[in-house]
Structure 1
Amino acid sequence: MALTSKISLYDDQWPGAFSAEKGRIAKGFGCELIEVHHVGSTAVPGLAAKPEIDLLAVVVEHRDEVARNAFMATLGYVRGSDLSPGHHFYRRDVEGVRTHKVHVCICGHEQIGRMLRFRDLLRQDSGIRQQYQDLKLRLEAGNREGIGEYLAQKAPFIDAVMDGLSQ
């Protein structure tokens, strides 16, 4: 089973793709939107990644989910399962290939800081960035069960790095 898309070398177009998508999705959040961040591997210059733009929308609260889901559907997004209380998830595929993911978290949610700290660490520390890239490429090469397996096998590395930051 394949991943949602194939890992590729860093593409200088990814920041522009984030900015364009940020503008598209922001319209659907109205006054509940606080900010939108570029997160995930495409937000880290020099890091190979699945070419899926990850956006983190921070909101005051989840107000009208029905209207938001309908708006996101007009942009080609499908609402996925909530990743945790207060952490909603949307994905967009084009011709069977994942292109974008949107995490919507209530202000103060623990995942906001975690995603931003991990992104910033990868931007700043070339050694950890290289280790993470090597791991991702190894996991892709040996993957048999799809994205769930890939994410589960990346998690111990991310947890160890994040635990090291909090000590």
Structure 2
Amino acid sequence: MALTSHIMPYDSLWPARFKADKPSIASAFGEDLIAIHHVGSTAVPGLAAKPEIDVLVEVHNHHCASARDRVLIDLGYRRGSDLTPDHHFYRRDVQGVRTHKLHVCRQGHVSIARMLGFRDLLRQDPALRQQYQSLKLQLEASNVNGMAEYLEKKAPFIIETLLKAGVIASR
């Protein structure tokens, strides 16, 4: 089982793709919207990534989720399984190729601090960015079970980094 796409060198057009899609994504959330953030590897200049734009949407609540889903469907998104309570997930594929992942989290959800914190740490620390890139390339090369395996194997690095930086507290 393959990953949704292959890791490629950083593309300076990724932030522009995020900015171009931000207004249409915002249209799905109305008054529940707090903020829309570009997260994930495509949000980190110089970092190789799967060319899938990760978007984090912060909302006050998940009110009118069915209406929101209809707008997102019209934009080409499909609702996936909720990752945790109050963390909804959507994906957009164009001609069978994943282009976007949309994380919709209720205000205060732990995933918000994790995604923003890890992105910011990678942006600030070239050595950390290189370590993470090397890990991702290694995991891609050895992957046999697809995306779940890839995410599971890079999670310890992310958690350890966030713990060391004090972004999250140890359990």
TM interval, shorter chain, is over 0.9
Q: Which residue of 2 aligns with 1:142?
A: 142
CA distance in 1, matches of 2:3, 2:21: 22
Please report how far the alpha carbon of residue 104 of structure 1 lies from its aligned counterpart in structure 2 after TM superposition: 0.5
Q: Which residue of 1 aligns with 2:133?
A: 133
CA distance in 2, matches of 1:96, 1:138: 25
Please report how far the alpha carbon of residue 76 of structure 1 lies from its aligned counterpart in structure 2 after TM superposition: 0.7
CA distance in 2, matches of 1:2, 1:60: 36
Comparing 101-110 with 41-50, greater Cα deviation is found at: 101-110
Alignment of 1:17-166 (within 5 A): 17-166=17-166
CA distance in 1, matches of 2:132, 2:106: 28
Comparing 92-101 with 8-17, greater Cα deviation is found at: 92-101
Say how many residue pairs are matched: 167
Please report how far the alpha carbon of residue 2 of structure 1 lies from its aligned counterpart in structure 2 after TM superposition: 1.1
Please report how far the alpha carbon of residue 96 of structure 1 lies from its aligned counterpart in structure 2 after TM superposition: 1.6
Q: Which residue of 2 aligns with 1:13?
A: 13
Return the letter of the residue paired with 1:92: R
| TM-score, reference length from structure 1 | 0.98
Comparing 38-47 with 63-72, greater Cα deviation is found at: 63-72
CA distance in 1, matches of 2:148, 2:84: 16
CA distance in 2, matches of 1:141, 1:23: 36
Q: Which runs of 5+ in 1 are unaligned?
A: none
Return the letter of the residue paired with 1:149: E
Please report how far the alpha carbon of residue 83 of structure 1 lies from its aligned counterpart in structure 2 after TM superposition: 0.7
CA distance in 2, matches of 1:70, 1:61: 17
Secondary structure at 1:56 match in 2: strand
CA distance in 2, matches of 1:6, 1:22: 24
Please report how far the alpha carbon of residue 163 of structure 1 lies from its aligned counterpart in structure 2 after TM superposition: 1.2
| TM-score, reference length from structure 2 | 0.96
Secondary structure at 1:3 match in 2: coil
State the Cα deviation string for residues 97-124 of structure 1 (Å, max 9, x = none). 1100110011111111111010000000
CA RMSD in angstroms, aligned pairs only = 0.8
After TM superposition, where is structure 1 displaced by more than 3 Å over at least 4 residues in a row? none
Q: Which runs of 5+ in 2 are unaligned?
A: none
Please report how far the alpha carbon of residue 64 of structure 1 lies from its aligned counterpart in structure 2 after TM superposition: 0.5
CA distance in 2, matches of 1:33, 1:119: 21
State the Cα deviation string for residues 44-103 of structure 1 (Å, max 9, x = none). 000000000001000010001111111110011010111111110100011221100110
Secondary structure at 1:129 match in 2: helix
Return the letter of the residue paired with 1:118: F
CA distance in 1, matches of 2:111, 2:139: 23
